[in-house]
Amino acid sequence: MSSKQRVGYQENADNRSGNKRSENNSIFRKKYQSAPELLLWKAPHRNAHLTSLPNSWEDVCDATVAISEGSSDSDSLLEDISSWRVSPEEQAKTRFDSECMERLFNELEIRIENVDEVVETLNAQFGTFELDMISLETHLGDKLMLFIGGLIFEELGYCEDLVDRCMVLNALEIINSRYLSENPFHNACHAADVMHGLYVLLSTTQLRDKTSRHNQFAVLLAAVMHDIEHVGLTNDFLTKSKHRIALENPGKAPMEEMHAVVADHLLQDPQMNLLSRLDETQRTQVLDVVERTILSTALCVQGTLLQDVKHLCETWQAKGDVTDNSLLPFEEQLVLLRLAMHVSDIGQTTKPFTVHEKWVYRLNEEHFLQGDMDKRLHLLVTPSSCDRSQWNTKQFLESQIVFLEGFAIPAIETMNQIPFMDVNYLAQSLQRNIGQWKKQFEECALIQHGC
């Protein structure tokens, strides 16, 4: 690549990653300062095969190709909201009232035409891995992260003691502004979905009992920031093209390193002011959890992460039962939160197939956009999975099977081995989705000349 091409490429990428940073973030602070009591609402691989797993999306594609070739108002509202909670048997689903929800939309300046449809979706899916965040995005637009994030933080009670609710909303607005809406997959909608996935794990397993509240708060913050300023390019592409992000963050996962750095800076920014109620030990742990869990979203570290969890489970087995409600030591909490983040990040693989499929096609389009950039800049560093003219239906279907069997199954099965984290329902959903992709692959094979 010539120096002229490199300069043009860097400027283009820099503009993509920074085109929303020029906004004056102080407006987010001013927006809620007049409402200190802002109305919010309550809200079949086994571990033995880990060394042979693929390390990246590029490895998945290579494997696929190889296979192919061979106040009073506030108090009143919060009282209404407290009644929405139902029994644990309902898998932490929250029941919402249309009238209260409409008042909340007005408070948060969310303008939607069909409140009842949103309420119906929330009542049926919120608090489960079935939630269709893409569908909610069509109603809530760029307020999606603010709505979902505020709902989760208030529902878990963190706004009662750990953080001021106004600061939470300010922070969510700032974080939302640092995501690129033009990314088909790695955008604010995905971040909100991952945060909700972590909320589900905290609400439906004993993870919430075994970890400190400030560390739960931390991992949810990490979830909503885990892809912040993502430029829609893979780590492999960043490294081979000598992108600014790779040069500033050398290593196997420059994108995740960048996300972690940005998240750390935001958390320590006085404008965010999210950690002011925490003591020194809590602040240190929160920053550590945010950094380590974000870095754990890199697919290339999955093998090491799952081995860490397996070793921890073996240690517990040797010591005896750990299924009581006592808190784990910090380092053990951190291992579990890293896994919870990883599972939530790939959690779309366990959603109902119609929802899972939406996310898959979004990611596929993002890869194609990378391939388009590669061609424009004559870099020739992109795998065939990013080339619209080369990546055919059969290869695409095989890549989904390889990814789900190579990454998703080991992660879910490892989590299922933790004594107090029964996620067998996720494993079953994952197997159903694999079955759907295999069915499509078999149908494609029957008409191979048309694929």
190 is in an annotated binding site: yes
- 186 is an active site residue: yes
The 8-class DSSP code of residue 407 comes to I
Which residue type sits at 164?
A: D
Residue type, 35: A
Binding residue per annotation — 189? yes
Report how far residue 93's alpha carbon sits from residue 428's, in angstroms, rounded to the nearest whole number.
Answer: 20
Alpha carbon 195 to its chain centroid, in Å, reads 6
Where residue 163 falls (left for φ over 0; alpha for ψ -120 to 50; beta otherwise) is: beta
Backbone angles phi, psi at 48, to 5 degrees: -65, -20
d(CA 277, CA 262): 22
Q: Is 80 annotated as a binding residue?
A: no
The amino acid that residue 44 corresponds to is: P
276: helix, strand or coil: coil
Contact in structure between 384 and 390 (CB atoms under 8 Å): yes
Catalytic residue among 45, 139, 186, 214: 186
**Distance from CA of residue 209 to its chain's centroid?**
22
Distance CA 390, CA 212 (A): 49
Tokens found for residue 385: 């999975």
Tokens of 363: 């990611």
Is 139 part of any known ligand binding site? no
400 is in an annotated binding site: yes
327 DSSP assignment? P
Number of other residues whose CB lies within 10 A of the CB of residue 66: 11
Residue 448 CB contacts under 8 Å (≥ 6 apart), including other chains: 394
Contact 403, 430 (CB under 8 A): no
- To the question of whether residue 196 is assigned a binding role by annotation, the answer is no
Residue 235 near residue 298 (C-beta atoms within 8 A): yes
CA angle 253, 258, 260 (to 5 degrees): 100
Rounded distance between C-alpha atoms, residue 168 and residue 313, angstroms: 35
The DSSP line for 215-270 is HHHHHHHHHHHTTTT--S--HHHHHHTT-HHHHHS-SS-HHHHHHHHHHHHHHT-T
Q: Is 61 annotated as belonging to a binding site?
A: no
Active site residues: 186
The binding site for AMP consists of: 186-190, 227, 345, 400
Residue positions in the annotated binding site? 186-190, 226-227, 345, 400
Question: Binding site for Zn(2+): what residues are annotated?
Answer: 190, 226-227, 345
